[in-house]
């Protein structure tokens, strides 16, 4: 079975062909980052227009690279995401489904981030998935494809959102994650001790207090009132050394929190396999920490290659392969696009 996967939930236009037996045959990703950079964040209207412009050539290229004329099914991201962007992917998928006379199947983006791990190696169930992206920080027990139990999620900012907001405060640019990751490499992670928001007794996350602590730190350094709002720092105010130290210390607090809570959950539910997915799983310190701690506890950890951490069509096709081969009759209740699509069991 060959599935064409279409991903247009946010700021990447992507199409990929995945073969059930041979894996990824093609995975074309066009990033809209340069388009949104001047606004320091994704502008929904610009995103949907850009998806509309690129979707046909991206799909054409994916099929050409995979050497196929038509797939056996078309999958697209149903949600969560930006409504206008999601609709572009759905319309493309449904149009092609009619032309090719093949099944069309809507996929939850977050399930995609979990199953991206499977495109590069075997994963064993039950597993614990940490999904860390621009919009989500979810800790999910995965018993098998389609059977989940959400243990916790963020109560405010998602991990990626926190990276992006902190980068904005420091005047570093967009998206913040990769920039902070790079600058942190030359900083001292122990120079500032930011709070670790563990929220003991729950598996929920909360990162907005950490962002405020960073803001207070900068205000103190600039001798401003503690609660003074900083829109965006002009570069010369802090030295490059200070900025690197702030980035390294902030990153340490985020990564320690994510790893600590994930390992706690793994211990509680006696899980031996962890999967980390979503854009923030590309973070070098987070990867290093997970590898080290999981090795110590003899837990297998699956971290995708960088191209499969961020949004891509291959992960959408991979979930579709599971859904199409599952015996669950209720698997495709609706293909309706939903910006707040909940994480649901298939039956």
Q: Is residue 134 a contact residue for ligand KG4 (CB under 6 A)?
A: yes
Contact flag: residue 112 with ligand KG4 (CB under 6 A): no
Between strands 273-277 and 127-132, the pairing is parallel
Q: Which one of 71-79, 120-128, 175-183, 296-304 is the stretch in contact with ligand KG4 (CB under 6 A)?
A: 175-183
In the complex, minimum distance from the CB of residue 159 to ligand KG4, in angstroms, rounded to a whole number: 7
The stretch near ligand KG4 (CB under 6 A) out of 23-31, 87-95, 129-137, 295-303 is 129-137
Q: Considering only the C-alpha atoms of the chain, give the largest distance between any 2 of them, rounded to a whole number of Å.
A: 66
Is 311 a residue that touches Zn ion (CB under 5 A)? Answer: yes
- Per CB under 5 A, 12 contacts Zn ion: no
Q: Single out the segment in contact with ligand KG4 by CB under 6 A; choices: 19-27, 48-56, 84-92, 170-178.
A: 170-178
Closest C-alpha to 323, from 343, 341, 342, 345: 345
**Binding map of Zn ion across residues 59-98, x = CB under 5 A, - = no contact:** ----------------------------------------
Give the nearer residue to Zn ion in terms of CB position, either 111 or 252. Answer: 111
Nearest CB to ligand KG4, comparing residues 79 and 278:
278
The binding track of 248-287 with respect to ligand KG4, each residue x by CB under 6 A or -, is ------------------------------xxx-xx----
Sites for Zn ion among residues 114-153 (CB under 5 A): 133
Q: How many residues bind ligand KG4 (CB under 6 A)?
A: 19
CA-to-CA distance for 99 and 86, rounded, in angstroms?
A: 20
Give 71 or 175: the residue with its C-beta nearer to ligand KG4. Answer: 175
Residue 133 binds ligand KG4, judged by CB under 6 A:
yes
Residue closer to ligand KG4 (CB basis): 47 or 104: 47
Q: Is 308 in the site for ligand KG4 (CB under 6 A)?
A: no
Tell me if 152 contacts ligand KG4 by CB under 6 A: no
* Smaller CB separation from ligand KG4, 89 or 278: 278
**Residue 108 binds to ligand KG4 (criterion: CB under 6 A):** no
Rounded CA separation 275/124 (Å): 10
Contact between 164 and ligand KG4 per CB under 6 A: yes
Nearest partner of 204 among 172, 156, 142, 245, judged by Cα: 156
Closest CA to 6 of 277, 315, 332: 315
Shortest distance, position 202 Cβ to Zn ion, whole Å: 24
Q: Which residues bind Zn ion (CB under 5 A)?
A: 133, 311
Q: Which residues bind ligand KG4 (CB under 6 A)?
A: 10, 133-135, 160, 163-164, 175-178, 181, 278-280, 282-283, 310-311
């Amino acid at each position: 079975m060959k599935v064409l996967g279409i991903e247009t939930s946010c700021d990447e236009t992507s199409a990929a062909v995945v073969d059930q037996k041979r894996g990824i045959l093609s995975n074309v990703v066009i990033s809209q980052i340069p388009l949104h950079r001047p606004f320091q964040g994704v502008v929904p209207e610009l995103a949907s227009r850009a998806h509309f412009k690129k979707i046909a050539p991206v799909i054409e290229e994916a099929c050409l690279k995979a050497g196929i004329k038509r797939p056996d099914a078309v999958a697209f991201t149903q949600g969560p995401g930006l409504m206008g962007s999601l609709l572009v992917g759905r319309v493309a998928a449904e149009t092609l489904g009619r032309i090719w006379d093949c099944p069309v199947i809507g996929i939850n983006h977050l399930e995609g981030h979990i199953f991206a791990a499977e495109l590069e190696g075997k994963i064993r169930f039950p597993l614990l998935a940490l999904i860390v992206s621009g919009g989500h920080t979810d800790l999910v027990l995965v018993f098998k494809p389609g059977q989940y139990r959400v243990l916790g999620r963020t109560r405010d900012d998602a991990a990626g959102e926190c990276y992006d907001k902190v980068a904005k405060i420091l005047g570093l640019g967009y998206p913040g994650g990769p920039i902070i990751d790079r600058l942190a490499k030359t900083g001292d992670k122990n120079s500032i001790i930011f709070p670790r928001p563990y929220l003991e007794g729950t598996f929920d996350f909360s990162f907005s207090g950490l962002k405020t602590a960073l803001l207070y730190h900068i205000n103190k350094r600039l001798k401003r009132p503690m609660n003074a709002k900083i829109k965006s720092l002009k570069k010369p105010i802090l030295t490059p050394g200070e900025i690197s130290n702030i980035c390294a210390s902030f990153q340490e607090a985020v990564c320690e929190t994510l790893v600590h809570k994930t390992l706690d959950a793994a211990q509680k539910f006696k899980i031996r396999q962890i999967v980390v997915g979503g854009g923030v799983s590309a973070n070098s310190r987070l990867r290093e920490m997970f590898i080290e701690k999981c090795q110590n506890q003899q837990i297998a950890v699956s971290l995708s290659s960088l191209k499969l951490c961020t949004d891509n069509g291959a992960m959408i096709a991979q979930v579709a392969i599971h859904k199409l081969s599952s015996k669950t009759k209720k698997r495709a209740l609706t293909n309706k696009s939903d910006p707040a699509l909940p994480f649901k069991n298939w039956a």
